[in-house]
Structure 1
Amino acid sequence: MGIISTDEWLKKDFNRPVQMMERLKGTFRNTVDGDVIYQHLLKHGMYSPNQRTKATWEFLQENDAWEKTQNLFTAYRKMWGGPDVPIYIFPLMSSVMWKKKNEKKSGVAFEDKLFLFYDMDINDKEMEAVLIHEYHHVCRLHHLDKDQKEFTLLDTMIMEGLAERTVERYLGSKYLAGWTKLYQKDKLQEFWSKHLEEKHSIKRTDPLHDVLLLGQKGYPHMLGYCSGFHLAGKSKKLSVKKSFIIRSEEFL
């Protein structure tokens, strides 16, 4: 599988992303229509049609983003012994939110597929960073013997932390996501005691899960992500393959 030719999809349906998403209906366990898929992907960085995102698409074509990502995927899949999954590449949303984050990439992973969103002027190392992060998710989801509905906040935090620690392992701190540098260690320990120690076992289906993970409604920005990265610092002693199977509770 590997890279799906979404560059060809974009040629035909750039201005009709919902219709384009109809092609993915059969890839989701629960049969959902294109609009539901598109709305979900929008939350993770999927583009909306406009001049800026069209220019991004043209940049990605000119810079062989699909071929480069395929080469990266082939290399990491071989190195990690990971599953063969389809990868869908689209332009990154051009909203103020993404510009404020100063991120050139985003993604979302499932056990059996992943989506990557690239901004204009993304360089090869940034492509590699997001591929490492999201494919690490795929590998961990593939190996964990746990239904995703049963995931706790701690599971999600450690998932994000381990993925970003793996980026650090291969590419160094320069290519870490901006959120990894938001808080000092002592501040994160304070946040843990104040906000997370009594709540880390809430299920993914609890509305508070995403509030704490993202740091919304008055909680510190990116609270769960940053705390997960801090907790996963112990993973430096682990092999990457061990990081796919280690239980989240071992980081407490």
Structure 2
Amino acid sequence: MCCVENFSDELKTTIRDNLTRICHGADLASRSSIMFKYAATLKSFWDRYSTKEDKTRIGMLGELLAHVIILKKLDSFDVISPLFNMEEKHIRKGFDLVLYESASNEVWITEVKSGGAGTRTSCAATSALLAKARDDLKGRLAEAETNHWHNAINAAQKSINESKGYKESVLEILGLEGDNAYLNTAVASDNNVVLVSALFNDATRKVEEKTVEHFTNKLIANPIFKTVLVLSLQKGTLQKLEDFLRTEAGC
């Protein structure tokens, strides 16, 4: 669980330091081209963001926040998929994030669901977001749809720095899952998953630990996936994050 109580200088610095890696992936972010530097990446993000409807904007900021928290707080994982979809000015299709855990040599498929609370409590809203992430990923991982895995492989190829020794291992794992989809033998229980709720709601109305614990325990008792990690994120509003990105982009 992670609650962003203040839009601190530390958070701003983290976004500045990692935005190119988050948006383009580690390999492209390491290139010397101006188009992969912070200013150009920020402009590209804002061009994508500013033209979208509110629901998509909330999803984009939720995914951005998930990238930042995972990079900074979950040291055992490498993010091996970029935020940007290279084919069009949109967020990534298929799986929201793909993570790699070197200790186990396993891939983790990540689904992020973002939203506000509305008239619900923070706990009720978080439970609903996590349930939607669970159900969407359960369906997608069992589909006879190879495009999800094509996208994941292409993302990993562009994202993982060539110096990383695990690149071929990751591509092989993703390829095997793609084969299962093609053969119509894909099942959700073959996959490690991370379910993320990104709630934008008053930080004084915090999500209670027992809410996330209850959701996780139910999922463990009736397993759908191979292994699951549940991550609850909460930020007061999306306005300060949006204002920061707008100001940084000079818009």
Using structure 1 for the length normalisation, give the TM-score: 0.33
Higher strand share: 2
Using structure 2 for the length normalisation, give the TM-score: 0.33
More relative contact order, 1 or 2 (CA 8 Å, 6+ apart): 2
Higher helix share: 1
